[in-house]
Structure formats: C-alpha cells, structure tokens
Amino acid sequence: MLYKLSEEQEMFRQTVARFAKDKVAPRVSEMDKKDCFPKDLYQEIAKMGLPALFYPSEYGGSDADLLTCCLASEEICKVSTSVGAFLGSIHSLFSSCFKLSASKEQKERHLPDVVSGRKLCAFGLTEPDAGSDIASMRSNAILNGDEYILNGVKNFNSGIDFADMTLVYAKTDPNAGIKGISAFIVEKGTKGFSYSVTGKMMGFRGIHHCESVFEDCRVPKENLIGKEGEGFKTVLSVLDEGRTLAGASGVGTAQGALDYAIHYAKERVQFGRPIAEFQAINHILADMATNTEAARQLVYRAATIVREHTKESMKLATMAKYFATDVAMKVTSRAVDILGGYGYSEEYPIERMMRDAKGLQIYEGTNQIQRNAVARVLLT
C-alpha cells in the first residue's frame, strides 16, 4: 500500500513545521518550568486551523484524513510533545465519538465552537480503579425524568481545568458490564461537577492532569451521545485513531531529539574535532535515525487504514502506538548520552523530551497492554 505524502500534504507539513518553530517553540520552556498552558497559544493553534483537521467540513472542519492529522501532531511534537500530543489525542477522541454516535443536533450545537477554538473539549474515561480495564469503571448515570444523575470519579483527565465541555463515560446499566457503558457531554459549570489538578507530572507539563468528581451531577437527557450502552463500542473505534496519533507524537518527539543531537554533535568539539566525526557517535546517530524512520513508516501505514475499523487496522494502530513511543524513549535517551552532562541539564531541551517520551509510553494505554492487544489479534 502506498503512503507517500502527496504534494499538498508535504506543503502542509512544511507549513506546520514553520508554525511550530515560530509560535510554539518560544513558549515551550516557560510551559515546562511554570507548568502552564498559555491560552493565547491555543488561540494561535486554532487560527492555524489545526483543531479543524479532525472535524467534518459541514461544521467548519477540514475533513482531513488521519495521515494529515498525524503530520500535524508529528511536527508540533518535534518542539513540544505536550502541545502536539494534547492536540492530537483530545480532538481525535472527541471528534471520532461525535462522528460515530452524535445526533445532527448535537453536532450543530457543539462542533462549530470546538472547531473554531471558541471552546475546548476534554475526555473523561480513566478512573482510579479503571485504567486499562475500562469495564471495571464505577461511574454511573441513572435516568431520572429528563436528566441523568451522574456519580463517579475520573482521573488523569488532560486539560479539564480549561476545557468548556467534557466527554464523560459512565455506566447506565451497572449489571451489563461493558455493554452498559454510555457517553455524555458534561459542560463546565454543571452543578455537581468539580475538578482539581492532581499534581505536577514528570512530563507533559503545561497540560494539567486532573481528577474530576461527579456528585449527583444532573446532565440533560439530550447530552447522551448515541444510545445507552453504546459507549464501549465507540471507545474501541475511537482509541484506534488516538493510538495512531500517539504513535505520530512518538515519531515527532524522536525526530526532534535526533535533530538536536545532530546539531550538537556537529558543534561540540572534543580532542580537537567535532564529536560528530567519531565513529561511536556516528553509530548512535545512525541507530536513532533508523528507528525513527521505521516508526514513522509504521505510523503512516496505520494512518491509511485505521478508519476502516477492521481487526487489521486495530492491530496496526496498536503496533504503531507502542513501537513509536518506545522508539521515542530510546532515541531521547541516546540524545542525552550524546549531550553528556548538558543532556541532563534543564538548560537544554533533551531532558524534557525524555521525560515527555516516558509519558507517551503510558498514555492512550500502556505499551504492555498494547502488546497484549496485538497478541489477541494474532491468536484469534
């Protein structure tokens, strides 16, 4: 299958690369040190049309294919994994759920504001006792007249502190297992909905990970997305796109670290010559580049077929997620080696890239769980 970039996609990639260099890169150090996400930066991202990539044209979106979305995440992640991964994961999860399950009225109500950047969405799935094991979630929603009464706790919810609405998953039938899970839109300010930042993370700084609490939270019946009990089926389809985009984030993070390491190796002089001339450094850089390119091709391959929602597409999306993010961890670690003591210093970006790469291995499902998922496909 061909997945060479078209002329239009290559031009788009270059445009996003310039945007990342000019608008995102100057803010990254501040974001990391202060653990803050500048809202004006998100508005710049929205003006650039990056959220629109994930949404249908009839609601102001660009109807971009998944490969184009991956290119955007990859280029942003070269300078900031926090921004690139957040952009890709949040909008892919939200838009995929809406495209699969939301009514026309729900799309008309919510999507134009999200596409334009006037409103920001978030995603609430993980719970303290239900991470990889989604079926064990305890959040529940009971229909009472024209409202659902939602109770439960979600954690590791990225960006809920500045989101205007959250896509929340809860059980509408606690006795039905995974077939009892449903999806709801909960808007900021809804009575009974509160959140708190859970603390500073090792990486992904600037994007706060929050705990959300729902205490007799009354959600209008029209905020149910799709039908009761269809939430888990939607999650499975949604996560395939999210995993592919996580893989693209891994590729971008690895490429950013590789580019910096190459530049440093050319400039750093030891024993009278640049360290780039030493064979040991050559071999490290060659392995970094080879692994990054292998990860890129797997991600691009997955991106071309994931929306078919077949066993093969699920397998490739899962492979892309764990392989590319493992590569990001390896490449950023080797970049630290090349920079030596400077690589371990906060004054240089490589240590941040390595911290972020570790986060990529965990979010969207740990890489151990991803391997289990691939094995299940192979053995059935």
Positions marked active-site: 364
Q: Which tokens hold the place of 98? A: 């809406």
At 267, the amino acid letter reads E
Q: Between β-strands 181-187 and 165-171, what pairing exists: parallel, antiparallel or unpaired?
A: antiparallel
The 3-class SS string of the chain reads CCCCCCHHHHHHHHHHHHHHHHHHHHHHHHHHHHCCCCHHHHHHHHHCCCHHHHCCHHHCCCCCCHHHHHHHHHHHHCCCHHHHHHHHHHHHHHHHHHHHHCCHHHHHHHHHHHHHCCCCEEEECCECCECCCHHHCCCEEEEECCEEEEEEEEEEEECHHHCCEEEEEEECCHHHHHHHEEEEEEECCCCCEEEEECCCCCCCCCCCEEEEEEEEEEEEHHHEECCCCCHHHHHHHHHHHHHHHHHHHHHHHHHHHHHHHHHHHHHCEECCEEHHHCHHHHHHHHHHHHHHHHHHHHHHHHHHHHHHCCHHHHHHHHHHHHHHHHHHHHHHHHHHHHHHHHHHCCCCCHHHHHHHHHHHHHCCCCHHHHHHHHHHHHCC
Q: Which tokens hold the place of 101? A: 């399950």
At 277, the amino acid letter reads E
Distances (CA, A) of 147 to 150, 220, 338: 9, 4, 58
